[in-house]
A = this chain, B = another copy of it.
Amino acid sequence: MANRCSQELYEFKAELCKTFADAKRLQIIDILRGGERTVNELVQFLRAPQAVVSRHLAILRDRGVVKARREGVNVYYSLTDSKIGDACDIVHQILLEQIERNRKLADRLVSGL
C-alpha cells in the first residue's frame, strides 16, 4: 500500500509538504478553493502586509501549487490542482482526530486513572 520510492522523490515530496507548512499559505489555499482571487483580495482576507502575501504567493507559484493570470492591473491566483484541496481536507481530519484523542486522554487523566 505505501509508495516506497527513491530518496530523490522523497525530497520532492518534502518540498511540497514544506509549501503547505505555513499557516498563511494554508489560509491562501483555502481561500483559493472558493475560486480565483486577486492579490489585493488575499491581502484583505489575510490582513497581512502586501509584501508578505506576495512572498507567499511566489513560494506557492514556484512549487506549482497555484498559478497566476494577469488581467490588466490585477493578478488573479488560483489552485493548479483540485487534489491540493483534498490534501488539506485530510490534514484537517488528521488534526481533528488528534484533538479528539487528546481530549479523551485528558478526560481519562482528570476523572482519576
A residues in contact (CB < 8 Å) with B = 1-5, 7, 9-14, 16-18, 20-27, 30-31, 33-34, 64, 80-81, 83-95, 97-98, 101-102
Contacts and interface: CB of A to CB of B under 8 A. Distances in A.
A83 B87 contact: no
Copies per assembly: 2
A1 B92 CA distance: 12
Contacts of A21: 14, 17-18, 20-21
Contacts of A18: 17-18, 21
A1 B2 CA distance: 28
Contact of A17 (B1, B20, B80, B83): B20
Contact of A27 (B10, B25, B26): B10
A28 to B, nearest CB: 10
A54 B12 CA distance: 23
Contacts of A16: 91, 94-95, 98
A89 B1 CA distance: 9
A33 to B, nearest CB: 4
Given A4-B30, A22-B14, A94 B88 contact: no
